[in-house]
Structure 1
């Protein structure tokens, strides 16, 4: 009887202890929940890319020339100015020829003397009066004099600049009276043939990867409002570095307007042959961005978890994500910017 009484008392104490412990755990849980930061989450969505890339570009000529003198000197005269239209082979500038003519005359006189010396020593050598060494020396001197004349005449022939291509002068670098060195450009000429014009656009890496050679493009030039021109992707840069974190892509015309000028702006729509699928999230879920790199928060075990992602493109109030969202079904939007990694949250 006494043993049964002891057992009963022990059970009552254990039950009371367990009950108190549960109440404390419940109270602690409620306290944590009450202290957790209130946030709002949104489910991620799937997005099928239409393959359309919209961007802006600049009209440029693919054919550019920088003609220069082959020899140095003082520029006597330039015949064309910026904005002028020139034809291939047209004379653009000449050097002052006084010094060059003097060099030619000096070289020719030196050649005459070398020929006289050669003929005299040759006859003496035939009579065994001159030595073989003397004959060899005048022979060498004669050859050197001939080369000097060739160089002087070459310099005279190339003391002028002619247009290497048909186009328009977009910049005059040197003018009359200035001293130029060999190879220094005098003009910049931009080709204006139908095959010369291109539109250069800059695409982020994900867009660049989705563009292929030959992809169709629609071109709208501000200079020709209301008109659309057909084009195609003709070149892709294999190296970034234009300063904007983008990669250059060139668009060629299929039917270009009758008149174009370098620097015209164009709205370009590229229809990519590749159709990718992305996960999209609201743009307000982004808490930090650096180019295409970004950070978001999701919820894991009731705590905020920071996740690094890569942005593929912006779609209005949403962003398409190319990587980093594996296994994530929802993201924190409202309140995300104020959270710390590992902070208790509730929604």
Structure 2
């Protein structure tokens, strides 16, 4: 009897708990409470163009740049150009003292003149068989050696002038007037400013999306409001085994004087464009465990829906599947939602912001 009484007591308690739970879901007048609406902001999926691009960073380099070395040693007598000055190919940049070299030329010329006279005299007597062929050949070889010595002396005198190898700008001067310089020592650096390049390194898995001739743009911190044009000049055929990347060289379009060698910039290479893509704001996408989903609002309730994402730009994702243009999506308040939650739209359900006609990928790397 005691055990049966205990069982009856437990049952009564359970019934009381259930009654209390049911009572918590009811208003004081006994009617069930209405489900609370969660405030959200929404936008609509639209159709628009989107472009995909590779984005990387690079330092601008001059295609033609050379360190001009002194071909002769000596004392710097005269410097004719300064840094920042434009020069032409073959223009004299500096001169060494030439007194000793000029004397060498004069001595070599004198020796040459003497041997030319000796050779002409021997040639005359040789034709009359008054001198041996051996003596004649000896003076002939001595004359050729003297001519070579004279040419070398003249060349040394010419090389006392340091000349520009090509058209460009003097980007660095290493020498000072009056200083001694050794043969082979650097004197100037000449840079061709109108042929600039940017080299980026693209992962090998993405290199098939790029090709020579594709258009590229460059932005630099010195000119944040400007975009500079270029195109892919070449793609290295070899993959760097240590990094798994391929070097891609972008040639900047000439006549962009704002660009200077050494500038750090951000390169974007467009590789695809879709004119009629379904676009949604980036804020609408919820990503969990590499899976993308959105909340679609229908009849006042939010339904979670998985989507497949394609290209992206600074503001939008392209949706490959899961949505159609015109679907209303939650862009603010997703953290409070569950599937089939009741929502209250607090903004006008307008279309998502218009997609840019020439949008580019804002994230680093290739999308899609």
Using structure 2 for the length normalisation, give the TM-score: 0.53
The corresponding residue for 1:220 is 219
The Cα of 1:80 is off from its aligned counterpart by 2.7
Q: Does the 8 Å CA contact 2:53/2:272 hold for their aligned counterparts?
A: no
The Cα of 1:74 is off from its aligned counterpart by 4.2
Which has the bigger relative contact order, CA under 8 A and spacing at least 6?
Answer: 2
CA–CA separation in structure 2 for the residues paired with 1:80 and 1:252: 29
The Cα of 1:242 is off from its aligned counterpart by 11
The corresponding residue for 2:156 is 155
Using structure 1 for the length normalisation, give the TM-score: 0.56
Q: Find out whether 1:249 has 2:253 as its counterpart.
A: no
Q: Which structure carries more helix by proportion?
A: 1
Q: Does the 8 Å CA contact 1:58/1:265 hold for their aligned counterparts?
A: yes
Q: How does 1:240-319 map to 2 (within 5 A)?
A: 246-254=245-253, 257-273=256-272
Q: How does 1:55-94 map to 2 (within 5 A)?
A: 55-94=56-95
Q: Which structure carries more strand by proportion?
A: 2
Closer, same or farther in 2 for the Cα pair 1:199/1:127, shift >3 Å? closer
The corresponding residue for 2:133 is 132
Give the 3-state SS of the residue equivalent to 2:223 in structure 1.
Answer: coil
The Cα of 1:256 is off from its aligned counterpart by 5.8
Q: Does the 8 Å CA contact 2:193/2:261 hold for their aligned counterparts?
A: no
Q: How does 1:75-224 map to 2 (within 5 A)?
A: 75-125=76-126, 128-176=129-177, 177-181=179-183, 184-193=185-194, 196-224=195-223
Deviates more, 1:113-122 or 1:212-221: 113-122
| Root mean square deviation of aligned Cα | 3.4
Closer, same or farther in 2 for the Cα pair 1:252/1:125, shift >3 Å? closer
Give the 3-state SS of the residue equivalent to 2:90 in structure 1.
Answer: coil
The Cα of 1:185 is off from its aligned counterpart by 4.3
Unpaired runs of at least 5, structure 2: 1-49, 275-286, 291-368
CA–CA separation in structure 1 for the residues paired with 2:260 and 2:201: 20
Q: Does the 8 Å CA contact 1:63/1:191 hold for their aligned counterparts?
A: yes
The corresponding residue for 1:28 is none
Deviates more, 1:249-258 or 1:144-153: 249-258
Give the 3-state SS of the residue equivalent to 1:164 in structure 2.
Answer: coil
CA–CA separation in structure 2 for the residues paired with 1:157 and 1:150: 10
Deviations 1:106-146 (A, max 9, x none): 11111122123324434554565432211221122122212
State how many pairs are aligned: 229
CA–CA separation in structure 2 for the residues paired with 1:242 and 1:173: 38
Closer, same or farther in 2 for the Cα pair 1:225/1:126, shift >3 Å? closer
